[in-house]
Amino acid sequence: MYYSKARKLLFSLVIAIPIISALSLLYILQVEGQSNEPQILEKHRVVVMADNQNITVDTHVETVGEVLQQLKIDVGRQDLVEPAALTKLSANTEIRITRISQNESEIIEEIPYTTVKYDDPELLIGQEQVIQEGVSGKERIKKSLRVENGVSVTEKILSRSVIAPYIPRVVAVGTAVSFQPIEPEPVISERNETGAGETIPSPTSQGQTSFPSSKSKVITIGARPVNYEFKLDEVELTAYTAGFESTGKYPGDPEYGITSSGTTVSEGRTVAVDPTVIPMGWWVYIEGVGYRKAEDTGGAIQGKKIDIYIEDLEKVNNFGRKRGNTVYVIGPKKPN
């Protein structure tokens, strides 16, 4: 029985193996026949726009990058290729190359001086006196220029540094009112007993009387007299630091801790002012605070406001906003 089953199995294998072998051979021959057939590659017409030229080419390559290699067109690291290099080509593909460069330049520009005018009760209305002549300053500006295909498209300022701060023009404006003295009645001469006449002179008007304009304005600070040019009442005081919270800059930034006048901030000296109210570079005396120098400006510091530099952020926050202060504007030199 077992012999009969084994015999049948062997007989089946003898029949099946040749059939499988024949089918395999037929498949192999078919594949080889296909591989030997010539392959027709797809042809693309491409227009390449680069360096002010339009190049039209018929090509069998498949991607944008391969076309550029075929035409031996170099692409810089900053250049822009549209569409991207790995994009597959299609009919009438247009390839655009934008040549991009970043150039840095450095220029010196003039800083125009400001003019500060203040009321002077020692001068008549309509009179002005120049206390300090203005001088323009200079600053160094570094710029980055983006150039596309030879044309400047964007400009970015990298840094500013003051070489020489400007000197403001300071003018005293008169506020004193002139007056006309009352004309006295004339005195008639009288004769004495001898008949000799004695005339009492009659004072005559000499015109308008003006106030002197050279009086010194003095305040006593620490038992010492200090001359000042003018006084500001109802001044608002705030505080700031060099950090991001006040200036938007971090340590390590090129302009960190640098004032608008080019100095480095210093606690106990630096304040920010409105340069049309207090002349830049002038010393002031703030009641309850002490001597400070106008070295900085700020977008929010307009009118009778002073921002006091303090290094510690916590102290700045605790300082708050103080109103109703009196400030004496002294001049370009600090009192000894």
Looking at the chain, which residues constitute the CATH 3.10.20 domain(s)? 44-98
Buried b / exposed e along 184-222 (16+ C-beta atoms within 10 A) = eeeeeeeeeeeeeeeeeeeeeeeeeeeeeeeeebeeebe
pLDDT at residue 198 in the model = 43
Pairing between β-strand 137-148 and β-strand 100-111 as defined by DSSP bridges: antiparallel
Successive 10-residue mean pLDDT values, the chain, 336 residues: 51 51 54 55 88 92 94 94 94 93 94 95 93 96 94 91 95 87 54 43 39 65 93 97 95 92 96 97 97 96 97 96 97 92
pLDDT at residue 44 in the model = 85
pLDDT at residue 20 in the model = 52
SS3 25: helix
pLDDT at residue 19 in the model = 54
pLDDT at residue 96 in the model = 96
CA contacts within 13 A on the Cβ side of 254: 9
- Does the bond joining 225 to the residue before it have cis omega, within 30 degrees of 0? no
C-alpha 13: how far from chain center: 91
- CATH code for the structural domain at 218-331: 2.40.40.10
44-98 maps to CATH 3.10.20:
yes
- CATH code for the structural domain at 103-175: 2.20.230.10
Q: Is the pTM of this model over 0.75?
A: no
Looking at the chain, which residues constitute the CATH 2.20.230.10 domain(s)? 103-175
